[in-house]
Amino acid sequence: MNPPSPHRAEAATVRISAKAGQFTESVIREMTRLALQYNAINLSQGFPDFPAPAEIKRAAQEAIAADINQYAITWGAKSLRNAIAEKFQRWQGITIDPEREITVCCGSTEAMMSSMMAIINPGDEVVVFEPFYENYGPDAILSGATPRFVKLRPPDWAFNPAELAAAFSSATKAIILNTPNNPTGKVFERAELESIRDLCVRWNAYAITDEIYEHMLYDGAEHISMATLDGMRERTITINALSKTYSVTGWRVGWAIAAPEVTSAIRKVHDFLTVGAAAPLQEAGALALKFPASYYETLASDYLARRDRLLGILMGAGFHCFKPHGAYYIMTDISSFGFPDDITFAKYLVKEIGIAAVPGSSFYQNPADGRAHLRFTFCKTEKTFQAAAERLRKLKPGRAASSK
């Protein structure tokens, strides 16, 4: 008789990491899958359903034809880094060194992750405004940071300065700031940025600023980069991407701008995470960043019209809307519809009405805090709005529509 094989089949026990066990799949991207499953109109995930500018599509095709098909320099093609530096100078008046202060990554998503992994040590705390773009939670867990949440409260999504001050301590390594903000549409004002700056200086903390909606501004709102504030040039990691400004969310090209010592740490993490972003698309990005001011003016005015269109549709359907001054989302209050929570309502909307939106709880650490909210995106065509308006007629409003 043969001895038992050391490799005999035994039930494999699940041994996933504690980190991966701490967060769920993206609710936003799950809503997109449900939208496909139920043939619903997708007003959940923030990607345009209209074409990207013809010039940059052509530039990408030409780059591939010219055989720019091998690895770019790991921290970014020189042409793109030069264009990023030149645009930052033109729009924010800051001179940066493209050789030592920029890391091109696979979208701002990777730029955020590489930046966090480059600066976080076990025990470090990161201050995060809440509601927050859902990636920041897993970003904190994966990098090993402990998040400290500070509430932005409707209707203006203002924060309480005392609460913010209380969240900072000697354990604080950074604050994550997203302006213009997803999901609230808040655009942080100078006085607010200054109070954040004062805390960063006092506690020697970094500001990691996600500025990917910088050109989507309404009602006279102004985008101020944190790096332009006195004392913040060296403390800020500015994150941006091609995704939203040029309607190419699938290209996955973003970047982090930071002081040279911080950049060398980000570059090392980035290199071993992904090696680099798509080489031909970086070349097309270099062209996009040179678009004249008129491109950004048209972008903002087109989005303003889309915002007002969706506000009208949602209010007409009985949603209470918080009017956004930036980015391309509308947060709503759904209390009047009488559903027990946001998830139940979102599922009803996608299955029975045929509209996908994002449950508010996905933007909060404690789901109960977001149970009265649903987020809709307006980066969509008129055809989509018309279809959405038609479907929402089936929804029974609980009370008179209103907007703040």
Ligand X SMILES: Cc1ncc(COP(=O)(O)O)c(C=O)c1O
Q: Report the interface residues with ligand X, using CB under 6 A.
A: 46, 107-109, 133, 178, 182, 210, 212, 241, 243, 249, 254
Owner of token pair 């940059």: 56
Q: How far apart are CA 272 and CA 198, in angstroms?
A: 34
By C-beta, is 177 or 353 nearer to ligand X?
A: 177
The count of other CB atoms within 10 Å of the CB of residue 271 is 14
Instruction: Give the whole-angstrom CA distance, residue 186 versus residue 221.
Output: 9
Least CB distance to ligand X at residue 4 (A): 51
Cα–Cα distance, 308 to 325 (Å, whole number):
11
Q: What is the DSSP string of 40-102?
A: -EE-SS---SSPPPHHHHHHHHHHHHTT--SPPPTT--HHHHHHHHHHHHHHH-----TTTSE
Which of residues 203 and 247 has its CB atom nearest to ligand X in the complex? 247
Q: In this complex, which beta carbon is closest to ligand X, that of residue 241 or of residue 313?
A: 241
- C-beta closer to ligand X: residue 118 or 317: 118
Cβ at position 270, least distance to ligand X in Å: 13
Q: How far is the CB of 256 from ligand X (least distance, A)?
A: 11
| CB burial of residue 382 (10 Å; 0-12, 13-18, 19+) | exposed
* Residue 189 neighbours by CB distance under 10 Å: 14
If the CB atoms of residues 92 and 181 are measured against ligand X, the closer one turns out to be: 181
Q: What's the length of the chain?
A: 404
Question: Residue number with the shortest CB distance to ligand X?
Answer: 107
Q: How far is the CB of 6 from ligand X (least distance, A)?
A: 46
Angle formed by the axes of helices 260-274 and 107-119, nearest 10°: 120
First CA to last CA distance, the chain: 81
Considering the complex, state which of residue 28 and residue 343 has its C-beta at the smaller distance from ligand X. 28
* Smallest gap from residue 299 Cβ to ligand X (A): 16
Q: Measured from the CB of residue 398, what is the shortest distance to ligand X in angstroms?
A: 29
